[in-house]
Chain A
């Protein structure tokens, strides 16, 4: 299932778990947040490079919750509407750390590899 595509290229395959990492990091930075808020943040941070089909966020949120990395509860939004708020759990925080490290390692490898070829 296509979760998200990157606008700049024809390539639509994204490393699996990328969306998970982005969601976890967003919740880590912003604290408890509803789906809309998460989507806005991802859009904003990526300067619209990420073309997110925002609905696909919800199965991902459900999966993260089933894995115990995030928790959810219903609450009131800024404009006083009922919304479901997601927050990072303790295991979620550990998972974020682990995935961040993995991602950095991988990014460094890719940077070295691609840098060697002389492409910016």
Chain B
């Protein structure tokens, strides 16, 4: 068939070819001419008509051959099937609605979750050759850090052959003062080659150069497109302009294009950067040492270099460096991780778990609709038999039935997409902030393709069995019994579907139960402090005015005084970081007389700089010694508190009180005396073991990045947010207040991904149970309706309703029991995949499983009981006449 012919025939199939009337006209003309010929040869009119008919051939066959040629026969029969299918579906609106709702939920949930999966996990990162981008972390002996020191990367750059570029990034918090109000910017500082490595170029101005990236030279900026348009009206003359931030002048050198996406979800920096400045580090600087692991390392692998090879090479170089600088480097390893994995590794498991859950929902939906179709095909037996008797082949009948299920699944897909569009918005609102690339989640072409694919597969899965069985009916037999009578084979198929329904619902229910128990466990876990009634606000004292520590301390003292004067504030304290505040400050902990041969190998302990009221405010118990006091000032003997975990890890059974400690460097800074031991706190996550900690007085270890914590006299601390912010602003309007949050919220947020999974799983489990209940109810009521006559006979013969009820329930109960048992077995296998998300509950927690099984059993029995009750209410005489 030529393309031209195919095109014309396609048009013909759509009704755009010549019409039947054209052919009729031609044939009529032809017949008349033949007839006239025959009459001219002397035949009488009847004989002439007969001869003409014979010469021309049968009109129906000609028309059929002609129509086949006009269109595409396949399309034509499809159109017929569709027309017929739609008619059949409209004739049974109840069935159609039930099937459509079921499929909408199943396909919609799948579409929604797939759109998340696609955006977050499947789509390549928006940089050229993203597979070659990696993060580089230098893990100390604790094996914790994902960060790296400047000197380490500088040496890697000189010695490694695996990378095109190695780049660095650090957190940064500049403040832009607009209309007299301080505004904190999302910003990072990066090595000059960062954009080159990412494969991005400024849309306006120039990229950073090596010359920009020096300690005395680094105050130049690249702006994001968004900030440039929002704050500077998209003015192209921005390049070269000088901006003042934190009392210092910065020169704008360029603007990044809108297409450049900053790295999202850097767990430490939380960078959604709008401003970039060069790092400005040099070897030998204060923060440039090997152990100064506060930088994020990135690399672009050379083409063809594997992660393993790069890792091996960097570790070999690190070993070399350790031999060359024995007191500067600790024992540790370098980890090279693909950038995608670094960004999305944490959310991978939750998303796949949810995808699995919605797949189960879809399977239940398939089983349900399959069930409905089987039930329906029983009542359609005589119709199908009639069509078979009239000459429809089995294949044609199967195709007709499959067309109907395809119509249902495509209808379900259409509604499902609408459902998903709404659901995706809900998901975005529910999703934890840690879910990267969330703004890219959308129902788009790729997602629609997926939906169409699952709709087609779905249609086959639920449609094939009923279609095959329906078409298999022997016409004579089926017509003889007039569509009623027994349906033994079908009822077994339905029993299997019921069991599958229940088993799948059981798996989801168990999973949801485990996640809810996890959330409960997280919420009730003791973080080591009392979060109730506490409100925190982060702010930073930067710029010329706070260049001296004494100025910072003066501000602190005045602020504390103001905070304590706010009505409703019970007590107040300042700290440079609080648990669950999103910050880390791990420092080398060097104890006099207990240092390792290489002090770099001494442990790293989380440092909290706090004002004396902090421990009491947080209700962290004092275990031994004394608390920090107002008398511990800049001029008195430096002191600190350690947590129990620190005492145990560093001092073992010895008493730590009185020990002398240096913090940060083993060879510099004052010796500080441990004066007390306090309880442990979880630093960021109650689901991981406590972090060893130390507490130093702000007076003796002054920090500019601070958190104000106030305790409310009433249960609701949120009303203090406004006066708290105002108090800081009143002292200095240029001080940016970044994050105001109630501590209980911070603790809950830390479990956000568990919460997210738990809520969604609970929703899916609810849908699954609902669908299973509906499916079960449908099957049972159908079965009971079939047995109405039997029930009538039994009742007429004197059976009491209770007997009948028992009879039906006992057969139903075994089905339900079987389904639940199968579900428990499947759940034991399936919940293993939840393991890494669970906390405080085992993946096969008997209580959760028992609860889920019980709930499902009750639902199953109610689904049996209701239709039976209804059947029993029917008058026996009427029941007997029912057939």
Contacts and interface: CB of A to CB of B under 8 A. Distances in A.
Interface stretch (B20-28, B648-656, B685-693, B849-857): B20-28
A63 B5 contact: yes
B69 interface: yes
B65 A84 contact: no
B27 A66 contact: no
A55 B61 contact: yes
Given A36-B30, A83-B29, A56 B62 contact: yes
A62 interface: yes
A11 interface: no
A59 B68 CA distance: 8
Contacts of A1: 65
A54 B65 contact: no
Given A56-B62, A62-B66, A34 B29 contact: yes
Contacts of A68: 4
Nearest to A77: B29
B623 interface: no
A82 B69 contact: no
A54 B25 contact: no
Contacts of B29: 34-36, 77, 81-84
B69 A59 contact: yes
Nearest to A34: B29
A107 B23 CA distance: 35
B57 A63 contact: no
Given A58-B66, A62-B18, A63-B5, A84 B26 contact: yes
A36 B33 contact: yes
Contacts of A54: 30, 34, 55-57
A67 interface: yes
Contact of B23 (A58, A63, A77): A58
B8 A66 contact: yes
A53 interface: yes
Given A62-B69, A62-B70, A66-B9, A55 B26 contact: no
Interface in B7-65: 8-9, 12, 18, 22-23, 25-27, 29-30, 32-34, 55-59, 61-62, 65
B25 A84 contact: yes
Contact of B59 (A55, A63, A65): A55
A39 interface: yes
Contacts of A65: 8
Contact of B26 (A56, A66, A83): A83
A39 to B, nearest CB: 7
Contacts of B8: 65-66
A59 B62 contact: yes
B2 interface: yes
Interface string A1-25: 1000000000000000000000000
B184 to A, nearest CB: 71
Q: Interface size bucket, B side?
A: 20 to 34
B678 to A, nearest CB: 90
Given A54-B30, A59-B68, A66 B57 contact: no
A74 to B, nearest CB: 8
Given A53-B57, A63-B69, A66-B8, A35 B18 contact: no
A93 B23 CA distance: 25
A77 B12 CA distance: 27
A24 to B, nearest CB: 15
Nearest to B55: A54
A25 to B, nearest CB: 20
Main secondary structure of the interface of B (DSSP, over half): helix
Interface string A91-108: 000000000000000000
Interface string A66-94: 11100000000100011110000000000
A56 B57 CA distance: 8
B26 A67 contact: no
A59 B25 CA distance: 14
A36 B2 CA distance: 27
Nearest to B12: A66
A59 B18 CA distance: 12
Interface residues of A, number: 22
Contacts of B32: 81
A66 B5 contact: yes
Nearest to B69: A59
B25 A56 contact: no
Contacts of A62: 18, 66, 69-70
Which residue of A1, A54, A55, A83 has the most chain B CB atoms within 10 A of its CB atom? A55
A36 B32 CA distance: 10
Contacts of B58: 55
B549 to A, nearest CB: 91
Given A54-B55, A54-B56, A66-B8, A59 B66 contact: yes
Contacts of B34: 36, 54
Given A36-B30, A55-B61, A66-B5, A82 B25 contact: yes
A67 B58 CA distance: 26
B65 A56 contact: yes
B27 A58 contact: yes
Contacts of B5: 63, 66-67
A116 to B, nearest CB: 37
A38 B9 CA distance: 24
A46 to B, nearest CB: 14
Contacts of B27: 55, 58
A61 to B, nearest CB: 9
B590 to A, nearest CB: 91
A63 B71 CA distance: 11
B529 to A, nearest CB: 83
Contacts of B18: 62
Nearest to A58: B66
A84 B30 CA distance: 10
Which residue of A34, A35, A36, A68 has the most chain B CB atoms within 10 A of its CB atom? A36
A90 B644 CA distance: 98
Nearest to B66: A59
Given A54-B57, A62-B66, A84 B22 contact: yes
Contacts of B12: 66
A36 B23 CA distance: 13
A69 to B, nearest CB: 10
A90 to B, nearest CB: 14
Contacts of B23: 58
A3 to B, nearest CB: 10
A106 to B, nearest CB: 22
A77 to B, nearest CB: 7
Contacts of B65: 1, 56, 59
Contacts of B59: 55
Contacts of A59: 62, 65-66, 68-69
Contacts of A66: 4-5, 8-9, 12, 69
Contacts of B2: 67
Contacts of A83: 26, 29
Nearest to A67: B5
A42 to B, nearest CB: 12
Contacts of A53: 56-57
A53 B53 CA distance: 10
Which residue of B29, B30, B32, B57 has the most chain A CB atoms within 10 A of its CB atom? B30
Nearest to A62: B69
A35 B25 CA distance: 11
A54 B23 CA distance: 13
Contacts of A77: 29
B4 A67 contact: yes
Which 5 pairs from chain A and chain B are nearest by CB?
Answer: A55-B57, A55-B62, A66-B8, A59-B69, A59-B65
26 contacts: A34-B29, A34-B30, A35-B30, A36-B29, A36-B33, A54-B34, A54-B56, A55-B57, A55-B61, A56-B65, A58-B27, A58-B62, A59-B62, A59-B68, A62-B69, A63-B5, A66-B4, A66-B8, A66-B9, A66-B69, A67-B2, A82-B29, A83-B26, A83-B29, A84-B25, A84-B26
Given A67-B5, A83-B29, 9 more contacts: A35-B29, A36-B29, A39-B30, A54-B57, A55-B58, A55-B59, A63-B69, A84-B25, A84-B26
